[in-house]
Amino acid sequence: MEKLKQIVKDKYNITFAIILLIAILSRILFLEEFPDGIDQDEAGMMYDAYCMAEYGTDRYLNENPVYLINFWGGQSVMYAAIASLLIRVFGFSVFVVRLPAVIFSILTIILAYSLTKKYIGKKFALILAFFITICPWHIMQSRWGLDCNLLASFMLVSVYVFLNAKKDWHYIAAGICWGLTLYTYALSYIMLPVFFIVLCIYLLYVKRITIKQILITIIPILALAIPLILFQVVNYFEIGTIKIGFVTIPQLFRYRISEIGFDNVLYNLNIGNRNNYWFLLFSSNKEAHTLKEFGTIYYILIPFVIWGFVLVIRESIKTIKKKEFNLKTVFLIQFITVSVCVLFFYDLLTYKLNPLYIMLLVFATEATVWIYERRKMLGNCIVIASCIVFVIFEVYYFKNINEKVNFAYNTDFIPLIEYLEQEYPNKEIYMETDAMQQYIYLLLAKKMSPYEFMNDKKFLRYIGGEIEVIRVGRYHFLIYEIDKDMVYVVEENNLFKPENEKKIRKELEENGFSYERYQNFLIYTYSE
């Protein structure tokens, strides 16, 4: 009998090890090539991470910023801070900068398995780990270096440490985790306090925690939140960038607090709105985030999510009445509180709903386990069907992703800069391409010092706080005039400004300029 128990135990461990291996391979293989190129926000984070690793500042020379200015509206600092540490160890590359997303996605699977195995059961834990591993949203967000892609992982880490805390220092550690989560994504400023408060009320009710333990947890949360509170004050009252001790509180070029409001709730719930909450739970409006052919968690799982949601509510009501702790109720609280919070956000996108998708998989797991316990064959069919869809997704992803996201992930600007540096080292250069935020790719291509950038750049400010970099060194990006001593680079088939392309080419050719072709670019120089 003891030997049989050991075999069963080993079976679960071996199965989880296989799932984990699949998770690692599906996220790290060809990480630099798929998606190919660099998204503009990823590029901004990459350059700031490079500057922090090499110079100890962001691109605007802010030492240890609590928040990145990025292009104008800001970007949370945690991802760049972790990436900068990896850059110091492994050097600067797209692979290294995307590595934090991979690491924390794998950590999510491990913690989800460990937590649910302890409080729910091995079967549930194994199926949940499997669903997270094959989830299209989770795979795609783990292959993209963006600040918000750490939020779901950090929230799970915080819950894990908090629920497993026993001693006072455990609760201090949990508070640190909750506090650090605030630095992963700005929307956590609303999501996290609401979730934490409701969770604490629930844990008090089921006598899983004491007031003292909550207070011990809150102290490090507040300590870590103080710089971000000051950040809000600095930007709301437009005080200007300040430095306190070893950290910098930056003022953004545009403060986006207006993007949160009651007016957004009905709009986000309206099914007639293409970006509505219901649609984004299961599909996507941008294929750089989730492929519409497969949805966020696979369309075949939607019925199981709905049924699992009902089952979790029923079980939660029963255990709450008995004042019994139930981990599924914790997941339900996270789903409900985060869902309510996101309804107040303007312009919903898949990544703004990141903390919800693992909860959807929890519900799908609940339904699958429920079916498996009653009809084992049917439960196995769900898992097999999910495996088949996962294989189809993987094949489709690696075959099509670069073509689908080529409008968002710039692949050719950095090689172009390297070519221009070699062939036209002393010329002033004007560039008209479809790269968004062209200057950031120049900074990456040249690995330019942030001191050089700040000393030799020119901003153009717009009403409302937005800015655009129109020149860095000898490279010009916006103001256009014909000068015979200048080199003009025009991209053919410009996706965003086709009229500019036609106008500039016509005027240059009428004024005696001829071009050479480099990839998809026409490089114009004056012909005597």
Window from 15-29, 31-45, 51-65, 250-264 with minimum mean pLDDT: 250-264
Nearest residue to 495 via CA among 405, 420, 419, 430: 405
- Do the beta carbons of residue 79 and residue 475 sit within 8 Å? no
Is pLDDT of 119 > 90? yes
Residue 479 pLDDT:
73
pLDDT at position 464 = 64
Q: Which domain holds residue 436?
A: 412-526
pLDDT at 106 over 80: yes
Question: How many Cβ atoms sit within 10 Å of the Cβ of residue 105?
Answer: 26
Whether the full predicted model's pTM is greater than 0.85, yes or no, is: yes
6 and 47 share a domain?
yes
Residue 8, pLDDT > 60, answer no
Does 11 score more than 90 pLDDT?
no
Domain boundary among 404, 434, 461: 404
Residues of the chain with pLDDT > 70, as a percent, come to 98
Per-residue pLDDT tens digits for 444-501 = 999 999 999 999 988 877 766 678 899 999 999 987 889 999 999 999 888 777 888 8
Asked whether the beta carbons of 218 and 179 are under 8 A apart, the reply is no
Tens of pLDDT, residues 295-338: 999 999 999 999 999 999 999 999 999 999 999 999 999 999 99
Band of pLDDT at residue 72, cut at 50, 70 and 90:
confident
Tell me: do 429 and 360 sit in the same domain: no
Burial of 334 (0-12, 13-18, 19+ CB in 10 A): buried
| pLDDT value of residue 275 | 84
DSSP run (H or E) holding 523? strand 521-526
Please tell me whether residues 374 and 426 are part of one structural domain. no
Rg (alpha carbons) of the chain, rounded to whole number: 25
- 239 and 343 co-located in one domain: yes
- Predicted local confidence at residue 465, as pLDDT: 65
Domain edge (last residue) among 381, 404, 427: 404
Q: Taking 60 as the threshold, does the pLDDT of residue 41 lie above it?
A: yes
Residue 488's DSSP bridge partners are 430, 524
1 confidence band (pLDDT: 50, 70, 90): low
Q: Which residue has the higher pLDDT, 2 or 376?
A: 376
Average pLDDT in the chain: 93
Task: Name the phi and psi angles at 170, rounded to 5.
Answer: -65, -40
Same domain for 362 and 439, yes or no, is no
Last residue within a domain, chosen from 404, 436, 469: 404
With 70 as the cut, is the pLDDT of residue 432 above it? yes
Residue 257 or 68, more confident = 68
Q: Give the mean model confidence (pLDDT) for residues 503-527.
A: 94
**Residue 237: pLDDT over 90:** yes
Whether 366 and 509 share a structural domain: no
Cα atoms found within 13 Å of the Cα of residue 201, Cβ hemisphere only: 9
H-run or E-run covering 226 = helix 211-236
Do residues 233 and 167 both lie within one domain? yes
Work out the average pLDDT over 5-21: 81
* Rounded Cα–Cα distance for residues 182 and 103 (Å): 19
pLDDT for 155-172, tens place per residue? 999 999 999 999 999 999
Average of pLDDT values for 342-365?
94
Helix, strand or coil for residue 430?
strand
Domain count, the chain: 2
* DSSP codes of every residue in 302-333: HHHHHHHHHHHHHHHHHHHHTT---HHHHHHH
Contact 279, 271 (CB under 8 A): yes
Share of the chain above pLDDT 90, in %: 81
How confident is the model over 79-94, as a mean pLDDT? 98
pLDDT at 2: 62
Q: Are residues 374 and 254 in the same domain?
A: yes
pLDDT band at 405 (very low <50, low <70, confident <90, very high): confident
* pLDDT exceeds cutoff 70 at 428: yes
Res. 3 pLDDT band, cuts 50 70 90 = low
Q: What is the pLDDT of residue 480?
A: 82
What pLDDT score was predicted for residue 481?
A: 87
499 and 396 in a common domain? no
Whether 262 and 287 share a structural domain: yes
- Cα–Cα distance for residue pair 110/124, rounded to 1 Å: 13
Q: How far is CA 523 from CA 30, 224, 417, 501, in A?
A: 32, 51, 12, 12
Is there a single domain that holds both residue 298 and residue 447? no
Tell me: do 57 and 182 sit in the same domain.
yes
